[in-house]
Structure 1
Amino acid sequence: MPKHLILCDCLGSQTIDAEALGRATGLTCSRVHTALCTREIAAAAKAIETGDVVIACGQEAARFAELAVDLGQPEPLCVDIRDRAGWSDDTPAAPKMAALVAEALVPAPQAKSVDVISDGTCLIIGRGSVAFPAAERLANTLAVTVLLTEDEELPTSRDFEIVRGTLKSATGTLGSFALQLDALSQMEPGGRGGYGFGTPRDKAETSCAIILDLSGNPPLFPAHEKRDGYLRADPGDPNAVAAVVFEAAQHIGTFEKPLHVAVEAQLCAHSRAGQTGCTRCLDACPTGAIQPDGDHVAVDPLICAGCGACSSLCPSGAITYDAPQVAFDLRRMQVMAETYISASGSAPRLLVHDDGHGVEMIALAARFGRGLPGDMLPLSVGALAGFGHAEMLAALALGFASVDVLTSPKSDLDTISREFELASAMGGKGRIRLLDVGDPEALSGKLYSTEAKTTGTDHVLPLGSRRQVARLAAKALMPDVMHPVPLPVGAPYGAVLVDTDACTLCLSCASLCPSGALGDNPDKPQLRFQEDACLQCGICATICPERAITLEPRFNPADTALAQVVLHEEEPFECIECGKPFGVKSTVEKIMEKLAGKHAMFAEGGAGRLIQMCDDCRIRAQYHSEANPLTGGDRPRPRTTDDYLSKRRDH
């Protein structure tokens, strides 16, 4: 059954062209209601009962969901076209509304998650004056232990345990924290008078499901606000303490932890043969969820907070954002651009924002200010740092005239700025902006002050990995550029430069290159390079014994980047026995020159000749030589029973 679009102008505060929306979206539109969530709620109920509907109202989504439950119908899809389009100083809004509705209809992939179980064991850290009242409030809900940071008078209550000691380390997350303490002593509840403590012991280990840190000391974890199950408050702020105590009481039971990223270990370029290469994800991860794991890296899904920085920065695609997948956001942008261009005939602009701060900024700008320009299409993403250079370039290549990224106070500005600079250098200069504004009116001012362009880049279909999408989009944005473009330091695209005077063609770089960008020629001494495959991980430069390799960050849009080129080649040495070419002539001659006259075995006719032979001839020469290392003495005769008896008779 085709979807029906149920419209409401929110007490006449916006103008909706139902006919234009129907043409642009292909949906059957209702009449334009005025108070669908109140006086005309019966019309909403009738529409929900009749089948698969889309309600053009985001503010009252919860009310319509409850109505659907009461009617025994599936929850309707609710789309906000008011704050993002209808409440705007720009008119008409129909093309933009159509684009927003079409984007909402893109089917989202199934979310992946894992169950996390918290048994309610809670460790409260702090002074007794703060920790004891918090423990008393939580004791009926959680199994509480207080770790005292100072010596104080102990309460007589036995509703919770009390220990003291020095916390040396803490690892883990909600449901599975592991702690190590020194000088740990437990309260002894026996005896008359005040309670005391037992004998302290070092290297004590324990575990808990929740940590409530009221100590006022530095956090136990990096990016502590993103660590599930770790709650922290300033002990001098009673309101903050009360808030985290209330929150701690909710941390018991089974929870769904989203799996934010997917990892393909075989693509990782972290290290080879003990030599470190790419560390981009390790350096960027705020929570420490990514750790080295041999030649690759491993992501702890329970610690990962889903910021998306690793996905943006990974040069090989070993780590990809998976909640939702990158392809989903590309599809959303494609549908938005195509719908808007089809309805208006001009190119839209894209505003990328997070689903918290950005949504609130747009809502406030719409309710109390000018709202968004009519050609500015907002795209909400769960991980702003995950919207990297590939997505920025893809948006332009899909037909958007420009891309604005609205950051929030909690955004990873280092990663976003790095990706912005990279996208600008790869064809997006002047068409991509970072907006770091915290005032809705200032946001509208910046968006309205930018001159809108009527055309964008010719439509390009983004296919393949993020790396392939970025290359395809960059080529479309720079159609006339056929020479390499310099990129910022640390970019994941570039060339390998070889000092041919220093290179001995040992090919250690080719053997360890994780992406296969460097390779050899089995028929002759050659070092080959394919620029498109180079990740700029640096392993080749690190492993080179002659220090003959340097990296040049750049993007080559020409097709020559897809072909193999020879970086260095030399004449092969010809075997002195059979004439078969092998090895590198200059290297063999240099070895002979250094060994000449140094030892009798390398004199003419000696072992030195073996160095000048191919593998087959060398084996034959060694086998037939007097000092053949492959031969031994005569095989001893087996000892028989007669030998044994004969020896007995002789004695």
Structure 2
Amino acid sequence: MPLDAKALGAAIHEELTLHSTLCRREAGAFQQALRQPGEVVVACTQEQRLFGEVAAQTEGAVAPLRFVNIRETGGWSRDARQAGPKIAALLAAAHLPEPEPVPTVSFQSAGRLLIIGPVDAAERAAALVADVLDVTVFAQGPGAAGGAQERRYPVLGGRLTGLAGWLGAFDVEWRADNPIDLDLCTRCNACVEACPENAIGLDYQVDLAACQSHRVCVKACGVAGAIDFGRAAAVQSERFDLVLDLRAPDATPTFLQHAPPQGYFRWDGSELATLLRLRELVGEFDKPRFFEYKQKLCAHSRNTTVGCRACVDICSAEAIASDAPRQRIVVNPNLCVGCGACTTVCPTGALAYAYPRVADQGQKFKTLLFTYVAAGGRDAVLLLHSQERGQALVQELGRAARLGVARGVPANVIPVALWHTASVGLDLWLAAVAYGASQVVVLATDEEAPQYLDGLQAQMETAQALLHGLGYTGTHLRLLRAGTATDLDAHLQLLGATRQRVPAQGARFAIAPEKRSTLELAIEHLAAQSPLPASERPEAIPLPPGAPLGTVQVNRDACTLCLSCVSACPASALQDNPQAPQLRFIEQNCVQCGLCVKTCPEDAIALVPRLLLTPERHQPRVVNETAPWSCVRCGKPFGTFKAIEAMLGKLAGHPMFQGEALERLKMCGDCRVIDLYSAQNETKVTDL
């Protein structure tokens, strides 16, 4: 790799020394560095395991050890000689502190494995893991050859009716409607031979639809007494730690979601890696609690009315459920896989990604982009990819470039590994553009659920509409789909075909912990740096449906100022005026959740997604007002003229509201009670 240690050191304010065989004959220099104060960053990941072992064996090692890949991401590319600024940026980001620890979710597995499928295939799979795991087979047909005559594992039979849970806590329910008791069955095959309808297979279960009730199988079973057609079909259940499913993907009941629970595996009999992973899942395991939830910010529901369902609809693990009566959503941390898609589409920031936190991720973006520019780089592109398949594609591309069969990662493209590509969205993308990124590209592979891609694309359309409205020409956000390194290479080479307009001066703000605050900071900087002259800037930028920014239109003729929308609004965008019958609106606060629309009894409210660029966006404005209604008895205002008139019109024909009763509706609460009490006393006097 053509590396300039002096230039790289100047860019990250560190003194660098280049080593060519640090993991071999120069290992002494590595050990010496470990004994010094400060951190050690190794800019190669190929021998990460070896470096870790050497560090563990180095006496007096005090320096924390980190790794960063500058080889496949920059040094192995046809643009390697121009990749210095990118490599400097990657080195600078590697020096950032580790994210603060977060609470964890614990799983405990004793290794109880349930294998569901044809008996022959289940027993073959069991033979490969039974030395480590406690195997039980749930027979779903005999398979091609039936099971082994030697019964090695407990076998359950019947109709599977329920399967739910996660690693260490899978609850399986079935209806034991098989007349053959598999615990008593000796697999002598006498019943199979005797059955005239061939209704008994080598899984030793009776096909009741084919059985003609000759009962010769019962006689053939003889002393074993394993067959009893009079046995009640009881519902049974049991708990397992792990599940290996050998059935066809469309079989039910099973986990149909894109991201099944941890501890549940499908296997077609070909990939032995699946069985190797199963063998490792015995013991106690922890994973980060990836999300933080703030109910007071949640726009999901108010007063049992559901508005925003973005997180519930996008979750590929079915870990999020609606709890409308309690005005919240509920996230099952055991099912959550940490994709972060819910936090990306959440308009308010009620759901936030916790590991790494958004502020840590934003600091990484800022460090990468600022270091890149300071080192002389131009037109920076952030390539966001997953730590699994996405990172593997980037590394494959780098190796292909080293062999001369691909161009490799361009010099201005900075790969950034994420736990999942769906964990970063509108707020951080716009912040990256504000920092100076010409493009933010999200690499999607076959890992992503379809709804994730739809959600990311919708967010990109909103961000791009906003940027174009501010005068930033070009395409700044891209969703790049690639299944092979060749596809990735072709896509990356096209990124530089057009130039993107970016802010003349990069933003300096720090990413805020709150999503809306970060979004406002990014919008404020992008608007201030807009290349459009002030006279040409629009008053408002239209945004696509579903955008988390916008205003409301109130039909003043239909609105009665009942203010039910005010109590429903989770963001305090709609407000009343204690001094006058007015409905006020602060556009900056609106998240377009739709609760006001669904709550309004008069259907008088409509959402309008947009970005208002005038100062009025931050100020309350009156969207409807009316004259107050004054009590006909004491003259005190107690409601709105329109609301009282509407009530009188609806109740005028009701038999309970005639004469004096209807007149009392025109009074304030105090006068209504006084008038009713006076009328009752007059009636008593008359009776006397």
TM-score in terms of structure 2 length: 0.83
Single out whichever of 84-93 and 445-454 deviates more from structure 2: 445-454
Is the contact made by 1:475 and 1:557 (CA closer than 8 Å) also made in structure 2? Answer: no
> How far apart are the structure 2 equivalents of 1:239 and 1:345?
47
Single out whichever of 400-409 and 40-49 deviates more from structure 2: 40-49
SS across alignment from 2:296: helix
SS across alignment from 1:140: coil
**Corresponding residue of 2:439:** 402
**Corresponding residue of 1:63:** 50
Is the contact made by 1:457 and 1:476 (CA closer than 8 Å) also made in structure 2? Answer: no
Is the contact made by 2:552 and 2:605 (CA closer than 8 Å) also made in structure 1? Answer: yes
**Corresponding residue of 2:117:** 126
**Corresponding residue of 2:390:** 358
CA drift at 1:150: 2.3
> How far apart are the structure 2 equivalents of 1:251 and 1:463?
38
**Corresponding residue of 1:87:** 76
The within-5 A match list for 1:5-44 is: 14-30=1-17, 32-44=18-30
Cα deviation digits, residues 553-576 of structure 1 (max 9, x gap): 222233322221111110001122
Q: How many residue pairs are counted as aligned between the two chains?
A: 613
Is the contact made by 1:401 and 1:453 (CA closer than 8 Å) also made in structure 2? Answer: yes
SS across alignment from 2:270: helix
Identify which of 595, 613, 624 aligns with 2:667.
613
Is the contact made by 2:120 and 2:147 (CA closer than 8 Å) also made in structure 1? Answer: no
> How far apart are the structure 2 equivalents of 1:528 and 1:92?
55
SS across alignment from 2:23: coil
**Corresponding residue of 1:97:** 87
Matched, 1:269 2:269: no
> How far apart are the structure 2 equivalents of 1:390 and 1:348?
18
CA drift at 1:630: 13
> How far apart are the structure 1 equivalents of 2:127 and 2:70?
48
**Corresponding residue of 2:465:** 425
Matched, 1:233 2:267: yes
CA drift at 1:442: 4.5
Is the contact made by 1:389 and 1:420 (CA closer than 8 Å) also made in structure 2? Answer: yes
The within-5 A match list for 1:182-581 is: 182-183=175-176, 186-189=181-184, 193=188, 196=226, 199=231, 201-218=233-250, 220-223=254-257, 226-234=260-268, 238-240=269-271, 242-293=272-323, 294-344=326-376, 346-367=378-399, 368=401, 369-411=406-448, 412-427=452-467, 430-449=475-494, 450=496, 451=498, 456-460=503-507, 461-464=509-512, 465-478=514-527, 479=530, 480=534, 481=537, 483-581=539-637
**Corresponding residue of 1:642:** none
CA gap 1:442/1:587 in 2 versus in 1, 3 angstroms: closer
> How far apart are the structure 1 equivalents of 2:49 and 2:682?
88
**Corresponding residue of 1:179:** 172
Is the contact made by 1:400 and 1:456 (CA closer than 8 Å) also made in structure 2? Answer: no
> How far apart are the structure 1 equivalents of 2:262 and 2:684?
65
> How far apart are the structure 2 equivalents of 1:561 and 1:57?
49
CA drift at 1:217: 4.8
Matched, 1:76 2:69: no
> How far apart are the structure 1 equivalents of 2:525 and 2:433?
9
CA drift at 1:543: 1.8
Paired AA for residue 611 in structure 1: L
> How far apart are the structure 2 equivalents of 1:252 and 1:397?
47
TM-score in terms of structure 1 length: 0.87
Cα deviation digits, residues 412-443 of structure 1 (max 9, x gap): 32222122112112216622222223343453
CA gap 1:588/1:17 in 2 versus in 1, 3 angstroms: same
Cα deviation digits, residues 154-202 of structure 1 (max 9, x gap): 6554542111111112111110011221235552337895673673534
Segments of structure 1 that go 5 or more residues without pairing to the other structure are: 1-13, 635-651
SS across alignment from 2:158: strand
CA drift at 1:290: 0.4
Segments of structure 2 that go 5 or more residues without pairing to the other structure are: 190-223, 469-473
CA gap 1:190/1:35 in 2 versus in 1, 3 angstroms: closer
What root-mean-square deviation, in Å, do the aligned CA atoms of Structure 1 and Structure 2 show?
2.8
SS across alignment from 1:353: strand
CA gap 1:586/1:110 in 2 versus in 1, 3 angstroms: closer
Paired AA for residue 609 in structure 1: E
SS across alignment from 1:602: coil
Paired AA for residue 189 in structure 1: L
Paired AA for residue 330 in structure 2: A
CA drift at 1:306: 1.4
Cα deviation digits, residues 302-322 of structure 1 (max 9, x gap): 111111110100111111111
SS across alignment from 1:587: helix
Single out whichever of 384-393 and 558-567 deviates more from structure 2: 558-567
Single out whichever of 428-437 and 300-309 deviates more from structure 2: 428-437
> How far apart are the structure 2 equivalents of 1:191 and 1:446?
61
CA drift at 1:447: 3.2
Is the contact made by 1:98 and 1:340 (CA closer than 8 Å) also made in structure 2? Answer: yes
CA gap 1:399/1:217 in 2 versus in 1, 3 angstroms: closer
SS across alignment from 1:215: coil
Matched, 1:584 2:640: yes
Paired AA for residue 172 in structure 2: L
> How far apart are the structure 2 equivalents of 1:33 and 1:626?
101
Sequence identity, in percent? 35
